[in-house]
Amino acid sequence: MERIPVYQPRLTGNIQRYVNECLSSGWISSRGEFISRFENAFAEYVGASAAASVSNGTVALHLVLEALGIGPGDEVIVPSFTYIASVNTILQTGATPVFVDSLEETLQVDPQSIAAAITPRTKAVMVVHLYGHPCDMDAVTRLCEEHRLLLVEDCAEAFGTRWKGRHVGTFGDAATFSFFGNKTITTGEGGMVLARDDSVMERCRRLKSQGVSPVREYWHDMLAFNYRMTNIQAAIGLSQIEMAAEILRDKLQLAQRYRDGLQGLPLRTHDPVGDVTHSYWMCSVILDDPKERDSLRQRLAENGIETRPFFPPAHLMPHCRAEVDLPVAENIGSRGINLPSFPDLVEEQISRICDAIKSFYR
């Protein structure tokens, strides 16, 4: 039986030609023309003034938190229902993550929970556009403006996601994207940083490259990091940007096929709510009964179909456990499954997945 993975990237288009250009030129490390070409193409696509490439999405988060001056004594509000990198990077700066709840319908952070968590020590709010659906950016930006808080957008899972026509990542003081191998566009590993303020962007560029002086060769005047992307990664990324529209179109069609194929079952698909563009990084289902989640995943695995469970809430993790009451995060974390979500799934595979789920409930 052919195995159906949760994800596999579309590696067509100009990818081989661009990578071969890197090899033939000898520019395979963190210098070369594809770095700036990819950064410029990405910024243009999302509607930002500039973008800075980095080695992965996690260091992108750490970089912007450092560039914004977040550190010991600061509190950063973050949804508990998120991938752990959102929280780990806050801890790595010495700041304290303050966990808040999410909304049942969209799976995104609850603005009312954010409002209730603000204290005199709060310096920033980190929102996470989870699984491809945007957060309520009207409510979140209003809160941050009222309380003079920094806003960081974790867009690791949200390339192609829009709130009222505007691409996520362009609302906050800084934003980050991931290009891991299972992301909508990929560079294998890799990430991107956006910043509203030019000085913050310049600080990100210096911090990611060992804090080298812009005016003096091999002079380093700040404690910094090596978070640079390679030219080969950027070459892959540029080819992916060129295919972005068709990849997003095919993922949207995939989500609709799941929606049609799973009607009438005791579960719901993760559908867009409001004036938004859901990019469907993952096509997800949320079961009515959490006790059925693991059994359904096991049945699908027996049929050669790989799935992923939703993220467990971060406030339950041993290294950052917090005694807070976040009922929605705990509930949806126990009920969700990510189905195979790559754009090259064919009709026969989609039918096989839907039939296996329907068979489970018969």
| pLDDT per residue as tens digits for the range 150-191 | 999 999 999 999 999 999 999 999 999 999 999 999 999 999
Strands 75-79 and 52-54: unpaired
Over residues 237-291, the pLDDT tens digits come to: 999 999 999 999 999 999 999 999 999 999 999 999 999 999 999 999 999 999 9
Mean local confidence (pLDDT), 204-217? 94
Mean local confidence (pLDDT), 38-49? 98
Give the number of other Cβ atoms within 10 Å of residue 277's Cβ: 21
pTM higher than 0.85: yes
| Spatial separation of the C-alpha atoms in residues 11 and 171, rounded to whole Å | 30
| Spatial separation of the C-alpha atoms in residues 77 and 299, rounded to whole Å | 38
Mean local confidence (pLDDT), 105-116? 98
Give the number of other Cβ atoms within 10 Å of residue 23's Cβ: 12
Q: What angle do CA 43, 48, 50 make, to 5 degrees?
A: 60
**Residue 289 structure tokens:** 């009964």
Query: What pLDDT does residue 264 have?
Result: 97
Split at pLDDT 50, 70, 90, the class of 1 is confident
Judged by phi (left if over 0) then psi (alpha if -120 to 50, else beta), residue 324 lies in beta
Domain 244-361, CATH homologous superfamily name and number: Aspartate Aminotransferase, domain 1 (3.90.1150.10)
CA 239 to chain centre: 20
Split at pLDDT 50, 70, 90, the class of 353 is very high
Are residues 164 and 190 in contact, defined by beta-carbon separation less than 8 angstroms? no
Are residues 304 and 2 in contact, defined by beta-carbon separation less than 8 angstroms? yes
Quick one: what percent of the chain has pLDDT higher than 70? 100
Mean local confidence (pLDDT), 211-232? 94
| Spatial separation of the C-alpha atoms in residues 109 and 131, rounded to whole Å | 12
Query: Is the CA virtual torsion 28, 33, 36, 40 positive or negative?
Result: negative
Query: What pLDDT does residue 285 have?
Result: 98
Judged by phi (left if over 0) then psi (alpha if -120 to 50, else beta), residue 48 lies in beta
Residues of the chain with CATH 3.90.1150.10: 244-361
| Spatial separation of the C-alpha atoms in residues 332 and 161, rounded to whole Å | 21
Give rounded-to-5 percent helix, strand, coil for the chain: 40, 20, 40
3 state SS of 174: strand
| Spatial separation of the C-alpha atoms in residues 104 and 90, rounded to whole Å | 25
Alpha carbon distances (Å) from 82 to 29, 92, 129, 329: 32, 17, 9, 9
Residues of the chain with CATH 3.40.640.10: 15-242
| Spatial separation of the C-alpha atoms in residues 61 and 204, rounded to whole Å | 11
Are residues 53 and 191 in contact, defined by beta-carbon separation less than 8 angstroms? yes
3 state SS of 38: helix
Residues contacting residue 263 through CB under 8 Å, at least 6 positions apart: none
Q: What is the CATH number of domain 15-242?
A: 3.40.640.10
Query: What pLDDT does residue 29 have?
Result: 86
